[in-house]
Every structure is written in C-alpha cells, then in structure tokens.
Structure 1
Amino acid sequence: MEQKSVNKTNSNGYTFLFAVILVVVVASVLAFAATSLQPTQQDNVRKEKMQNILATVGITTDRDGAKKLYDQYIVEEIALREDGTADESVDAFKVDLAKELKKPVNEQIFPLYVAEVEGSKYYIVPLRGNGLWNAIFGYISLKDDINTIKGATFDHLGETPGLGAEITKEWFKKKFENERIFDDSGNLVGVSVVKGDIDPSNKEDNKVDAISGATITGDGVSDMISERLKRYLPYFKKQKDIKVAIN
C-alpha cells in the first residue's frame, strides 16, 4: 500500500495538477497585487505629468509637492478643437495624446495649459511624435509673445541609450530655451534639430544642434514640435493680447 501511494504522488497526473494549482495561485496573487496597486500607479502618473508641465516654466518639484505647485501656477486647462474653440465638456488633463493622434485631425482634442509665474503668462503645449524605435513625447512652453520658448521637456518609450535617449537630458532640453518658433516672415516653423555649425547664442534661427548619432530621433523631435504647435494657431489667433504677428 505504501509503495502504491508513492507511485501515485510521482505520477504525471499529480505533477500536472500541482502545476495547475501553482499557476492559479500565483496568477491570483499577481492579479490582486496589480489591482491593489493600480490607484497608486495612476496617482504617480498624474503627479509625474504635473511635474513635467511645471518643469517647462522653471518650476521643479518632487511628486509629493507636484499637486500643490500645479494648482498654484497652472491657472487654466483648456481642451481645444481644431478650430481653436474650447470644448468645456472635456477634461484637458485627462486627454490621452496617444489615442488622439489615431483620430482624424478634425476629431482630435488639443490640450493647452496656461501658467502664471511671477506675473508672466506661459502657454504649455503637449507634444507627441515618433522617434527611431517608438513614441517620443513631452511638453513645450511659450512665453506670452507666442513665439519664444520658455522651456521644454522630452521623454521616450524606446530610444537608444547614449544616443536618442539623450533627449531626456537637461543639457539637450536647455538648448530650446529662448528659441523662436516663427521665422522672420511670421510663419510657424518650430525648432529644428539639425547637424552642423549651429550658433547656440543665435535664438532666431529656429535651430538647435543635433545629438551625435541620433539623427532620426532628432528629426522626430523637430517634426512633433512643428506639427503640434501648428494645431494651436487657430486658438492663438483668437487671443487679443498676442504680441507677435502670425500668418
């Protein structure tokens, strides 16, 4: 009888049953953990978004302080339609650009954040485009002339470390400070990331120096800046206090 019991526990059926039970238990634990952590993860994503928006206007903070400073400096969140009118039924902060870009332009929502810092007004535009391997994204803030960049932040989903991934570095983001997005004729051209002898002190050439070995990522940054900013022209043209002539 003892030998028969040993053989039974060593059988394939017993091993298979044990494996199934183990998989079910592990899956249940992981599912419970994921469900339990989801609110915390969503809150962290929300705070990180606030941090990135604030960073474009020179306000740095950790996650714990993000909400307080965001409420202090961001005075408006606007969900815009293609014609520059606001859609008050849409929460601008919750707009997912990855989903919006899959829609026809006339169905997209364009979030805009307005900040006031030490008496100055800034307009913050979310960015999203394509890098070498996957999506690149970020935020860019404009001073109240709607021509001069206050600051920018960039991130990515899969660019190459040491090459395209350098767009997240502070030294690269600083290149965009005080660059102009309109050319001398008043056409919105954005800021191009280009190779060559670029004078970093020339803020009116609509160019910044590229990252060595990251041409495609740099082109992606250039394209997403000009493409996204152009979507906001209908809104900016409606504003009476804009100081720059826009074609």
Structure 2
Amino acid sequence: MATKKFRCKVCGYVHEGDKAPSVCPVCKAPASEFEEVMPVQAEGDVQFVPVKKKLDTNSNTYTLIYAAVMVIVVAFLLAFVNSVLRDRQNENIKMDTKKQILAALHVDKVADVNAEFARYVKADRLMNADGTLGETVDDSQFATSYEKEVKDNGRLHVFVCEVDGQTKYVIPVYGTGLWGAIWGYVALNADKNSVYGVYFSHASETPGLGAEIASKPFFEKFPDKKVLDAAGSSVALGVMKNGKVEDPSSQVDGISGGTITSNGVDQMLKKCLSAYMKFLTSKE
C-alpha cells in the first residue's frame, strides 16, 4: 500500500505515513494544520500539490445533503407538473359544468361542448338585488362552483338560454345529501314558474339508492312542475318521500331507499330557489 504524504501548512514540512502526525516535529503545529499532498513533476523539479478529497458517500453529511437535494428536486418536478396540468384540469371541469347545464336543457351526447353551449346559452347573467338581471359574465370568468360564488362573492347566476326559439332560464342549485355534496341545475320556462328540465349530480351517494338522483328516470319527474305556490310567495317545488306526494303540480316522489338524499334534494331546491324569489316573481 502506497505511503501517503502530509504537508504542514505552517512550515512546509512533509510527513510520510498513513495519517498526519498529531504535532508537527518542526513548528509544533497541530494535525489540523496538515493537508494531504501528492508529488508532481514540474520543470525537472518535484512539487507537492494538495490531494483532492473524494466525496465520502457513506458519511451522514452526504446522506443528509443527498436527501435534501432529492426532496427539492422532486418538489420542483411535482410543482412543475401541477402547474402544467392545472389549466387542463380547470378546462375539463369547465367543460363538464357546461355539459351539466346543457343536460338540464335536454341537450345530451354533446360532441363540441363550447359550440353547443354557445348555441343554447345566450348569456350568463348576475341577478341584481331587485330581481332584474344585470352584469353579463364573460366566458373567461365562467364559474364552476356556484356555492362558492354565492358564499364568497354574493353572486347569483342565471343562465339565459334559447331552445327552439323559446327563452329558458337555468338556475344552479347546491346542497348536501347523505354522504356529501349534491348539486344541479334547474331549467325554467319563460314564465319562470314551470320547470323545463333538471340535472342533478352528487359526490358520494349510495349506488342504487341515493345516487339515483343523477338518473334520467328521476330527472323526468320534474318537467312542467310548478316552482312557486299558488300565492307566488314561496318555493313549492320539492321532493317528497316516495308515495307521499301531496301536491302533484309541484312535488315529485323521492328515491325508494334514498330518503335522506331525497330530503337533501328537496332542501336544496327550496333553499337555492328561494334566493331567486325576486327574479322568479319579477315581470322581466
């Protein structure tokens, strides 16, 4: 095994051995003042130059630094991927929301969502305090959470639509079922008091039971139902326990075995549509 050489950085003394001496025999400098060197032939003379230290991949310091670098690199890559995909994800959510609004208008199996939406939905308007429709929302600011729009921004959306030359209005609704969020869209005829169509969906209702609120057989119970009571003072449109309908003109049977979810839809309709009472009863 080749003998190593260590040079004193104070006096230049060169020591040969496996390690630096504890004390320089010439100037008494401690071992910390020694550096490992190697002889290099230069212009016929031998010079000693410091040996480049190899990275100790077994040390704790190396392990910690390596782990920290990997965490930073992975975090950066995840942030980059998330940034790249965010716009696409948001666009997909936007397209799905538009498809749900179109479904309330009985427009299904849409190939080009934006084209069909532009064909049927003429404006996304905000309701004024007096019930009239005011500001038109640009498509670039299209909302996908109408619960957040109401709670955070106080904005009540009304989609003004046209189907076969007739005006329709679509109102977003949202609430809570048995296991989580439920939401939907209620399309009204021009009189604003009769249902043209509905669409409902959910986050986690029980398949075959509460989840049936998102089925066509349930949707088909709503067309032509009255939204307001006879006096026009409150929302009558609702969902009753299966077989317990009292007013067929405005109530529908709930889902068998899905009573709590059905109650959630009933409460959702009452609460959300009540916020639009001034619009529903206005002459506009």
TM bin (shorter chain): 0.7 to 0.9
User: Hey, what's the Cα distance between the residues in 2 that align with 1:60 and 1:185?
Assistant: 35
Partner of 1:26: 74
Offset of residue 198 of structure 1: 5.3
2:257 counterpart (194, 213, 224): 213
Residues paired across the two proteins, number: 230
Per mean C-alpha deviation after superposition, the further-off stretch among 89-98 and 75-84 is 89-98
User: Hey, what's the Cα distance between the residues in 2 that align with 1:82 and 1:227?
Assistant: 17
Aligned positions of 1:35-184 closer than 5 A: 35-62=83-110, 65-88=112-135, 91=138, 93-94=142-143, 96-102=145-151, 108-184=154-230
Q: Which amino acid aligns with 1:44?
A: N
Structure 1 gap ranges (5+) = 2-7, 241-247
User: Hey, what's the Cα distance between the residues in 2 that align with 1:177 and 1:197?
Assistant: 19
TM-score (normalizing by structure 1): 0.79
Q: Is the 8 A contact 1:95 1:111 kept in 2?
A: no
Counterparts in 2 of 1:111 and 1:117: CA distance versus 1, 3 Å? same
User: Hey, what's the Cα distance between the residues in 2 that align with 1:16 and 1:26?
Assistant: 15
User: Hey, what's the Cα distance between the residues in 1 that align with 2:169 and 2:58?
Assistant: 70
Identity %: 36
Identify the structure with the greater strand proportion: 2
TM-score (normalizing by structure 2): 0.70
Identify the structure with the greater helix proportion: 1
User: Hey, what's the Cα distance between the residues in 2 that align with 1:13 and 1:208?
Assistant: 70
Per mean C-alpha deviation after superposition, the further-off stretch among 189-198 and 113-122 is 189-198
Q: Which amino acid aligns with 2:272?
A: R
Structure ID, larger Rg: 2
Whose RCO is larger (CA < 8 A, sep 6+)? Answer: 1
Offset of residue 10 of structure 1: 4.3
User: Hey, what's the Cα distance between the residues in 2 that align with 1:42 and 1:111?
Assistant: 19
Q: Is the 8 A contact 2:232 2:281 kept in 1?
A: no
